[in-house]
């Protein structure tokens, strides 16, 4: 949670799902330039207690249309 607060300008949305008593799934949708998002991802996946981390990027498209 502290990392998310540190990067609040990049966090667009989060969802926390309880899979069972001992396991949760955290989905974080972030926005920003790719370097900022990669730093955020690296910080999150290095957090103690994470069993798996995944990362997918998508472009916003041309915003001048």
Tally of CA atoms within 13 A in the half-sphere of 64 that contains its CB: 0
The pLDDT, as a whole number, for residue 19 is 94
The pLDDT, as a whole number, for residue 15 is 93
- How many angstroms separate the Cα of 41 from the Cα of each of 3, 21, 52? 10, 25, 12
Copy the structure tokens of residue 19: 């899979």
Residue by residue, pLDDT tens for the chain (65 residues) are: 777 777 778 889 999 999 999 999 999 899 988 888 899 889 888 888 888 888 888 887 766 55
Burial of 54 (0-12, 13-18, 19+ CB in 10 A): exposed
Q: Which CATH class is domain 1-65?
A: alpha beta
């Amino acid at each position: 949670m502290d990392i998310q607060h540190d990067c609040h300008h990049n966090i667009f949305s989060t969802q926390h799902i309880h899979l069972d008593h001992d396991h949760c799934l955290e989905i974080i949708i972030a926005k920003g330039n790719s370097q900022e998002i990669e730093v955020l991802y690296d910080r999150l996946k290095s957090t103690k207690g994470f069993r798996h981390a995944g990362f997918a990027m998508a472009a916003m498209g041309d915003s001048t249309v």
